[in-house]
Amino acid sequence: MLDAFSMLQLAWAAGVMFSAYVLRGMSGFGAGLIATPMLALVLPMTIVVPVTALVVFVLFIMLTLRDRKQVLWDEFKRLVLPTLVGVAGGMYLFTVLDNRLLLKLLGGFLVTYSIYMLAAQWLGMKQMRLSEKWAAPLGFSGAFIDTLFGGGGGTLVVIYMHGRGVGKLEFRATLAVLWFVEMIARISGYMLAGYYTPSTLELVAVMLPFMVLGTWVGEKITVHVSQQMFTKILAVMLLLSGASLLLK
């Protein structure tokens, strides 16, 4: 079934998956934000988004089992319903928009967001404090963007959790469980829409070892890179990825 993909496509996908999960291992989020636009350079979005969703779902299974005792269930309950509604909205647009338009929308989103990231670093924007009322709009928007583009929306939920003053362990654990539930909904939608073909599932199986290895490497090297430097590197990569998709 892998005959549907060239050796160049497979090699590129493996390298992208490894790199994306190195970055995720360092930061705790962002794999889809990196992997989706880079994979979209050589594969259709209708393959890229379902593949990245299933790969990260395997990771969230492991994280949920490991960190479930640190979950802040009150925050989870505030976020889970708007998250599921956001998945439904994003899934609808994903099934009706064509691949070229999705690429242009993703490219524009990445360029805009990367400029915001760089501006926040250079201007030294202060940490916001958010009330629980922000759970609904940010939870919905995050899941909507994740479902439509395969990543990026989770950053909105990260902003919410930071704004709530959540501790590091509880932060990672709560988001892992929330995104685990989100991934069940997203994968179910992609499956019902017929995006998981035998060749797509085989591609997922081939990518899983690169996800595991990248996560392990990222967690090992994270102590050597400051958060500020990591954010700048990530922003530049997103800017270049978004520009390349707009020009494709």
Q: 171-185 pLDDT, tens per residue?
A: 778 888 998 999 999
pLDDT digits (tens, 9 = 90+) for 84-119: 999 999 899 888 888 778 778 878 877 887 887 788
- pLDDT at 25 > cutoff 60: yes
Radius of gyration of the chain (CA): 17
CA-closest candidate to residue 43, choices 1, 10, 19 = 10
DSSP single-letter state for residue 28: S
Instruction: List CB contacts of 170: < 8 A, sequence separation 6 or more.
Output: 70, 71, 72
User: What per-residue confidence (pLDDT) applies to 205?
Assistant: 94
Q: Which of 46, 53, 52 is nearest to 103 (CA)?
A: 46
The model scores a pTM over 0.85: no
Task: Judge whether 152 and 33 are in contact, CB under 8 Å.
Answer: yes
- Would you say residue 163 has pLDDT above 90? no
pLDDT tens per residue, range 30-77? 787 788 888 988 999 889 989 999 998 998 888 888 888 888 999 999
CA geometry: angle 191, 59, 222, nearest 5 deg: 140
pLDDT digits (tens, 9 = 90+) for 191-201: 998 999 999 99
Type of residue found at 226: S
- Alpha-carbon distance of 197 to 1, in angstroms, equals 9
